[in-house]
């Protein structure tokens, strides 16, 4: 049964929800971040990619996945035959969480309360788009989408259900690939991620 909240969310547009999210104070992360980094893409997207939270560059530019992890992600999507412009890309948490270290801002992991608070926006994005598949890029996204802790290493490449019944493909975060020091292992892990993206493409067709 469709709840009243769902009906209300479906009658909204991504633009209205994005505008509402600009003033979000649902947790404390808005206090230090430059701006809300809302999702980007089409309402007609058949796939929604969910990352963890904006990084330093995303916080400044106000767009998701435009830094180094985003560039790698774009390249692998292209190889898998997925046009990012036809997808929707967002994050579990919409403000940059960081620790100041001198002039640098060091990424800090969002906690369970911050992930829960920000589900308010992710739920609305998913309700409006109703994709064939959502892709959890890493543990934070998997937690946001399923409402539970997900063992990424064990479930990587498999499809589980989100709290609202959307199929969720579990995979790693592209920044994990960037951090692997060994070249051979990096290449192996990149290929596994590319394989997951090919699976996403199949799920989009189905």
| Binding region for ligand URA (CB under 6 A) | 51-55, 58, 64-65, 67, 69-70, 91, 175
CB of 96 to ligand URA, least distance (A): 9
CB of 160 to ligand URA, least distance (A): 19
Contact 70, 97 (CB under 8 A): no
Contact 97, 114 (CB under 8 A): yes
CB of 112 to ligand URA, least distance (A): 17
Q: Residue of minimal CB distance from ligand URA?
A: 51
First vs last Cα of the chain: how many Å apart? 24
174, 180, 182, 184: CA torsion to nearest 10: -20
> What's phi and psi for 105, nearest 5 deg?
-120, 115
Cβ contacts of residue 167 below 8 Å, gap of 6+? 132, 133, 134, 159, 160, 161, 203
Q: Which is nearer to ligand URA, 85 or 205 (CB)?
A: 85
Dist CA 181 CA 185 (whole Å): 8
Q: Which is nearer to ligand URA, 55 or 131 (CB)?
A: 55
Q: Which is nearer to ligand URA, 6 or 186 (CB)?
A: 186
Q: Which is nearer to ligand URA, 37 or 203 (CB)?
A: 37
CB of 106 to ligand URA, least distance (A): 14
């Amino acid at each position: 049964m469709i709840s009243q909240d769902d009906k209300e969310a479906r009658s909204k547009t991504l633009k209205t929800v994005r505008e509402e999210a600009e003033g979000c104070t649902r947790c404390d992360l808005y206090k230090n971040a430059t701006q809300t980094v809302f999702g980007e893409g089409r309402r007609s997207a058949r796939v929604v990619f969910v990352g963890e939270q904006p990084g330093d560059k995303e916080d400044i530019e106000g767009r998701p996945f435009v830094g180094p992890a985003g560039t790698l992600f774009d390249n692998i999507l292209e190889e898998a035959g997925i046009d990012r412009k036809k997808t929707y890309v967002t994050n579990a948490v919409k403000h940059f969480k960081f620790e100041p270290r001198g002039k640098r801002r060091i990424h800090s992991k969002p906690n369970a309360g911050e992930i829960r608070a920000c589900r308010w926006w992710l739920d609305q994005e998913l309700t409006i788009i109703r994709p064939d598949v959502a892709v959890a890029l890493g543990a934070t996204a998997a937690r946001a989408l399923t409402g539970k802790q997900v063992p990424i290493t064990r479930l990587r490449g498999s499809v589980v259900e989100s709290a609202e019944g959307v199929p969720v493909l579990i995979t790693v975060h592209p920044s994990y690939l960037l951090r692997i020091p060994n070249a051979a292992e990096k290449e192996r892990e990149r290929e596994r991620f590319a394989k997951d993206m090919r699976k996403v493409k199949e799920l989009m067709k189905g």
